[in-house]
A and B are shown apart, each in its own frame.
Chain A
Amino acid sequence: MKKVMTETRLMFAWNLRITLRSPIWVIIGLIQPVLYLLLFAPLLDNLSNSGSFPKGGALNVFTPGLLIMMGIFSGAFVGIYLIESLHNGVLERLRVTPVSRTALLLGMLLRDMLVYMVQCAILVGAGLLMGLDPDPVGLLVMFVLLGLVSLTIATVSYGLALALRDQDALVQMIQFFAVPLQLLSGILLPMTLAPRLLRNISDANPFSHAVEAARALIIGDFADYNVWLAFVLFAALALLAFNWVTGSLKRAAA
């Protein structure tokens, strides 16, 4: 156990240094959500007075959705880096060392989570400037949830990377799934505006509950059933994904 922790720390520091050497990607990942916040959120202001818009004001509804969207997209693409290290031999070299496969994966995931948390903090900061008015405790709990969601997506992305082993295939796969997932989770506009059929489909989408939970948390509504549901759902999904990926790392994967 101590061995795994030391190794995880080493791999985390290593991966973080690689990321910091070209921080441009962290910034590029922020551009799209910031643009949405600046150019799309104001449109919601008038809409938010209509009856079926959830409570809390346009920014409080929109920002959590944006954060999850950023988590889906930046998380989904982390696998590209792993495919690169499959091809340039880095992963193979690491697999011949005694380093535990759990530490290899955790070292990457913790880096991804930290990067995402920093991006979230910047986006929330921008939101505050524009009039976002969060409940402080709720905001903290929401960050924990966001971390869990991004962890799940990043793990799945690594799993797909190991299975597909091809950057183009991974990108296409992500585009195939990410857009419907995003649309059916009420990220841009809340699903309360949707017709019944769409709303039912969206109920089966775990991301939709994560978005609802984040919206509830940011206004301090801890009683919303989506909050515990989202935590349970994503804890389970993250665990499943983690077992899957450490399994494929142990088997031949290079």
Chain B
Amino acid sequence: MIETRQLCKTFKAGKQNVEAVRGVNMTVQKGEIFGFLGPNGAGKTTTMRMLSTLLQPSGGEATVAGYDLRRDPAQVRQKIGYVAQGGGSEPSMTGRENLVLQGRLFFMPAADARQRASELITALEMDTFADRIVKTYSGGQRRRMDLALGMVHRPALLFLDEPTTALDPQSRLHLWEEVRRLRQSGTTVFLTTHYLDEADALCDRLAIMDHGQIVAEGTPAELKRQVAGDVITLGLAVEMLPQGENLLHGQSFVREIHTRTDSLQVYVERGEEVLPVILRLLDSAQLPVQTVALARPSLDDVFLRMTGRSLRESA
């Protein structure tokens, strides 16, 4: 659905050239939710704006929804929907009016455009506010309307720029549901986010972006596995710690082991499978385990590993 080769964007800021995007190569498959995760200023939005025909790339190639981005931007526009960070509904008109105009601009006859607007209003549960002017909407209502505007012409590919920024938790979950439903209907969704949990919960695959480049790409699970594996923390009586370490050290599944003041930290590949084995081993060696914890690496650990910074700090 999307393929890019060495996509670049350089802005002029005064006399300096700012390289916002520095050679992005990626492939987005049909029907998946693909996410761009990265701190603010990483180049996520710039990349998205190039792919949605709003910005001319400074270099590189891209095919979007089957058409060449540089040669055929008009065809690309027919196939894609785009929901900007700040939305784009006209504040002094009602949501329904906005939807109808949007349909008309995609060559729908008036009756079809009205029909489609009603469909979306029902589907996204906007009946209570669709006929009020957009200015009066709450943040969540407005976001849903923005999403609907991007969906009017049933695009094959929908771009969502920071779809849940500044939403309350409930509206956020609601929006995630809508995005998953879009995937079910066969739409490819490309979104940017700087929320770890959003990338984790929503995206089939994601690319981590930093300083205008993709530093890692894969499913959330793959990315996390790439990092350190899982950490199992075993609480043992202090005098038994050396024995425990000796016992586990020779096991093939242990990557690394560290002794802390009152516990052992064991780094392993697949924590959920290894944990019962470890417990059985220690038990049969008469080393009673007092506490146990299994920690999964988060996407933040992935980001930390790739960039040397925590995403939470940079965002």
Chain A residues packing against B (C-beta within 8 Å): 7, 10, 14, 17-18, 21-22, 85, 87-90, 92-99, 251-252, 254
Stretch among B89-97, B162-170, B202-210 lining the A interface = B89-97
Stretch among B53-61, B224-232, B262-270, B287-295 lining the A interface = B53-61
Chain B residues near A97: list those with CB within 8 A.
77, 102, 105-106
Q: Assess whether A96 is in contact with B77, with CB atoms less than 8 Å apart.
A: yes
B138-163 near A? 1/0 per residue, CB < 8 Å? 00000000000100000000000000
Contact (A90, B90) CB under 8 Å given A7-B105, A10-B105? yes
Chain A residues near B74: list those with CB within 8 A.
98
Chain B residues near A14: list those with CB within 8 A.
90, 93, 101
Chain A residues near B303: list those with CB within 8 A.
none
B102-126 near A? 1/0 per residue, CB < 8 Å? 1011110000000000000000000
Known: A92-B54, A94-B105. 6 other contacts (CB 8 A): A10-B105, A87-B86, A90-B90, A93-B88, A98-B78, A98-B105
B214-225 near A? 1/0 per residue, CB < 8 Å? 000000000000
When the two chains form the complex, which single residue of A7, A88, A96, A98 contacts B91, counting CB atoms closer than 8 Å? Answer: A88
Q: Assess whether A89 is in contact with B56, with CB atoms less than 8 Å apart.
A: no
Tell whether B193 is near chain A: CB-to-CB under 8 Å: no
Q: Assess whether A89 is in contact with B88, with CB atoms less than 8 Å apart.
A: yes
Chain A residues near B26: list those with CB within 8 A.
none
Q: Assess whether B101 is in contact with A93, with CB atoms less than 8 Å apart.
A: no
Q: Which partner residue on chain B sits nearest A84 by CB separation?
A: B91
A4 to chain B, nearest CB (A): 12
17 pairs of residues in contact across A and B, judged by CB atoms under 8 Å = A10-B101, A14-B93, A14-B101, A18-B90, A18-B93, A22-B92, A85-B90, A87-B86, A88-B91, A89-B86, A92-B54, A92-B84, A92-B88, A93-B87, A93-B149, A96-B52, A96-B81
Chain A residues near B90: list those with CB within 8 A.
14, 18, 85, 88, 90
Instruction: Provide the bound-state CA to CA distance between A14 and B80, in Å.
Output: 23
Q: Which partner residue on chain B sits nearest A94 by CB separation?
A: B105
Chain A residues near B78: list those with CB within 8 A.
98
Q: Which partner residue on chain A sits nearest B80 by CB separation?
A: A96
Instruction: Provide the bound-state CA to CA distance between A92 and B92, in Å.
Output: 17
When the two chains form the complex, which single residue of B82, B92, B107 contacts A93, counting CB atoms closer than 8 Å? Answer: B82
Q: Assess whether B77 is in contact with A98, with CB atoms less than 8 Å apart.
A: yes
Q: Which partner residue on chain A sits nearest B133 by CB separation?
A: A21
Q: Which partner residue on chain B sits nearest A17 by CB separation?
A: B93
Q: Assess whether A95 is in contact with B106, with CB atoms less than 8 Å apart.
A: no
Instruction: Provide the bound-state CA to CA distance between A94 and B92, in Å.
Output: 16
Q: Which partner residue on chain B sits nearest A95 by CB separation?
A: B54
Contact (A88, B88) CB under 8 Å given A21-B93, A96-B80, A252-B54? yes
Chain A residues near B91: list those with CB within 8 A.
88
Most chain A CB within a 10 A radius of its CB, from B54, B90, B149: B90
Instruction: Provide the bound-state CA to CA distance between A92 and B149, in Å.
Output: 13
Smallest CB-CB A-B distances: 5 pairs: A93-B88, A89-B88, A96-B82, A97-B105, A89-B86
